[in-house]
Amino acid sequence: MFNLILFGPPGSGKGTQSEKLTSRYGLKHLSTGDLLRSEIAGETPLGLAVKNLMAEGKLVPDEIVIEMINSALDNHPRVNGFLFDGFPRTTGQAEALDKLLSQKGTKISLVLALQVSQQELVKRLLNRGRTSDRIDDVSEEIIAARIVEYEKKTSAVSEHYKKYGKVEYVHGEGSIEDIFELLCDVIDKKMVA
């Protein structure tokens, strides 16, 4: 199996690039943000429990997303690999993911970290807020809260995987196609290594 984490701050292009990467490499896309939004849309108890936190740009508790990923792994036993998008977002989630994968006899193969300047992130997110129905992209205040959560809790996830030599950095500014090719180059090299 080839298990990839696409890592980066909000607005770094994880969702866009994930779709292209999953279709090129036949990986199963697991986005905790998408899974949570579908719980909210379905007005499930879980959706109702996380709605306000997400609207404020805060992370939802580790136990909730870890359980969602645990079920998703169980529901897709025969895939070439997974692409994790927006997960793990804390070192606790990273440790839990490593454990779940090792119970299944597999592991994270590569962490691709998209690097984008803060100014560009805010510009992209405000733009997305105008064209999508994402409630957490509508104001600069909520966007700032998400970037603070990233700096405070999520950036440490790359340190966790750096210890194992699994992180590769990719410049995430430019055209979608150019960034996609940069990502593919790193993946192709890792796959043959």
What are the residues binding ligand AMP (CB under 6 A)? 10, 32-33, 36, 53-54, 57-60, 65, 86-87, 89, 93, 136, 146
Decide whether 13 or 33 has the Cβ nearer to ligand AMP: 33
Which CB atom, from 89 or from 124, has the smaller least distance to ligand AMP?
A: 89
With respect to ligand AMP, which residue has the nearer C-beta, 60 or 183? 60
37 catalytic per annotation: no
Concerning whether 78 is annotated as a catalytic residue, the answer is no
122 backbone dihedrals φ, ψ, rounded to 5° = -65, -40
Catalytic, 146? Answer: yes
Query: Which runs of consecutive H residues, i.e. helices, occur in 42-175?
Result: 45-55, 62-75, 91-103, 118-131, 140-149, 156-162
130 is catalytic: no
Output b/e per residue, 153-174; b: 16+ Cβ within 10 A. Answer: bbeebbebbeeeebbbebebee
Please report how close the Cβ of residue 6 comes to ligand AMP at its closest, in angstroms. 10
Closest CB to ligand AMP belongs to which residue? 33
Instruction: Fill in the DSSP letter of residue 153.
Output: I
Q: CB–CB of 11/125 below 8 Å?
A: yes
Which residues are known to be catalytic? 14, 89, 128, 134, 146
